[in-house]
Amino acid sequence: MTDADLPLDNPMLVQWEFASEERLEKRNQTHVPSPQEMRPLVADRMTLARLAASVPSFATPVRVRTHHTVFVADTAA
């Protein structure tokens, strides 16, 4: 199973299960100065954790952008 098999950003899925829902999104950008500091950052992401050990070497800081979506829902009454 891959992330593509779980279309969690489909609003219709949420509407069928919950009385109301709110979608919260957070975008962030930072610079990571070394591979040693990037590995824990990658490992903390559930969908990317398996890639943490294969972070390549790099000499200059890398710009990292993240985008997280959280659904907050109330159950049907």
Question: In Å, how far are 2, 31, 37, 39, 46 from 22, measured between CA atoms?
Answer: 25, 30, 33, 32, 22
pLDDT tens profile 63-74:
988 888 888 877
Measured CA to CA in angstroms, residue 28 lies from 63, 64, 68, 69 at distances of 11, 8, 9, 12
The pLDDT value recorded for residue 36 is: 93
Model confidence, pTM:
0.52
pLDDT at residue 1, rounded to an integer: 45
d(CA 57, CA 54): 9
Express each pLDDT in 17-73 by its tens digit.
677 778 888 998 989 999 999 999 888 876 778 888 899 999 999 998 888 888 887
**What is the rounded end-to-end Cα distance, in angstroms, of the chain?**
33
